[in-house]
Amino acid sequence: MIDEKEYIYQERLKRYLTAMRNEMPDYVPIRPFVAEFTAKYAGYTCQEVTHDYRFAFDTAIKCARDFDWDAIVPNMVYVWTGLTQALGLKYYATPGIDIPPDKPFQYLEPPENKAFMGADEYGMLIDDPTSFLYNVWLPRVSSEIAHSSPYRSRLALVKGAMAMNEYFNALSLQVERMRRETGTVSAIAGILKAPLDIIADKLRGYIGLAKDLHRRPERVLEACEALAPHLARVALMTADPGKKAPIGFWMHRSYMPFISMDHFNRIHWYTLKPIIEEIWSHGHQVLFYAEGDWTPHLHSFAELPEGSIIFHVDKTDIDEVRTKIKGKFCVSGGIPNWLLSFGTPSEVRHYCRKVIDKLALDGGYIMDASAIIQNDAKVENVKALTESTRIYGKYPIGQTQEEKTATGREEKSDVKIQLKLKIRPSVCIPWEEKRKELPQISGNEDVFRKVWEEVEALGYLFIWQVLLSF
C-alpha cells in the first residue's frame, strides 16, 4: 500500500510534469528556487549553509516540510565552499571569510589584466578545451593547485575530486530524502551554460570578452564552437536518467545590452541552439533560467522545437512572453524578488494573481520568483506567494479559458556546428593513445577499452564540473 508521502509525491510529480509539457494540471505547480531563504527560515547563517552542505540539506527539508511546494532544488545554495576551499578557487567570496557570515557567497570578477585566460590563448582552448582547462586554467584559478609545494598541489587535486564525489553522492541521497520525508519533487537535474557565458564567466571575464567580440570575433566564435560539444555532453552526462526533471541552464549576460544583437545571432545563438536541439533529441527538456531581460530575443527562442524548454521569467516582459513563446513552451517565474523583500503579503497576493491571469489560464505555468530567493525575502511574503497560488491557481482559473493554439512540432534547424574535434567529449586521453603504451594484449581488448573510457569520463567530468558548477 502506498504511504502518504509517496502519494503526495506522485501527485506533485504529475502536476509538475503536466505543466512542463505546457498542459493543464489540477493546480499551478509551485517550484520556488529557495537558496539562503532556507537558512533564514530555519535559523542558520549563510556561512553555515554555504560551508556545511549538511546544514543546507536540513534547511531545504524543513522548508519543504513546512511549505506546500511541489518541487524545489535539493540544495539551491549550490556551491559548497568546503570543495572550493579544498581547491583554493580564487573567484569566490566565502561568507565568514571574505564577506560577513550573514551574506550569500559571491562570484568575484577578475580584473581585466588578471583574466584566467589571455586574449592570445584562444588557440590552445580551441585545440583541446579539456587539456586547456587542466593545464592552463585550473592552476590559475586554484591557489592550492598552483602551490609551490608539490605535496599541497597534489593533495588539493585528490581532495577536490573526492569532495566532489562525496557532495554529488550526498545530493542524490537528498533527492530521495525529499521524496521520502516530505513528498517533494526534485526541480532540476544536470547543468548547462552557454559557450559565450563560459568565456565571460570563467575565462576572459566580461570586459575581456566584450573587447574580444570587437577585436577578434572569429576567434570567439571558434572557441564557442569548440566548447559547444563538451557543454552538451556534460549536460547529458549529468541529466536526470528518468528524463523528468529538466536540465538547469543558467543564462547570464549574453543578451542585449551586454552584447549586440549581431553578436547574439552570429555567435551566442548560433552555437547555443544546436546544443538545445541535441539535448532535446535525447528526450531532455532544458530550463532556460533567463536572468535579466531577454525580451528582444524571444523570437529566437521560438525557433526551438515545441516543448523542448521551460522559459523562466525574470525581467522579461510577460506580455511579450505570452505572445511570442507561451503557445510552444511552459513558462515559470515572474514574481519580482524586490516584492518578496520589501512588499506586503497583500501586494504579493495581488501580483501572483496578475501573473497567473497572464500566463497560467490555459496551463503550462509554474509559480516561482523572478530570481533565486535569498535571505532578504520576508517569510510572510513567501507564505503569501504559496497560499495565494494554491487558492487562485486551481484549475479552471477564472470564468473562461483561452483557447490553446495547436502547434505542430517544429523540425530541427539545419544549422549544425561542423567541427573536427581533436578529442571527443567525455575523453581526456583517448584509448588509441593509451593503447600504444601497452604491450600486446591477449584476450578481450574491448574490456580494457571500456573500463579505460569509463574512468576517463570521471576525470573529464571533474574538470568540467569545476568549470560549470563551482
Nearest to 460 by CA among 234, 225, 181: 234
Supply the pLDDT for residue 404.
Answer: 38
Domain boundaries, the chain: 4-402+412-469
pLDDT at 1: 61
8 A C-beta contact, residue 12 and residue 185: yes
The whole-number pLDDT of residue 412 equals: 44
Separation CA 458–CA 456 (nearest Å): 5
Pairing of strands 106-107, 92-93: antiparallel
**The CATH fold of domain 4-402+412-469:** TIM Barrel (3.20.20)
Q: C-alpha distances in angstroms, 465 versus 139, 218, 260, 459?
A: 16, 27, 29, 10
List, for residues 272-324, the tens digit of each pLDDT value: 999 999 999 999 999 999 999 999 999 999 999 999 999 999 999 999 999 99
pLDDT of residue 424: 86
Structure confidence at residue 418 (pLDDT): 53
Which ranges of the chain have pLDDT less than 50?
399-415
Whole-number pLDDT of residue 420: 56
Q: How long is the chain?
A: 470
Q: What is the pLDDT of residue 2?
A: 73
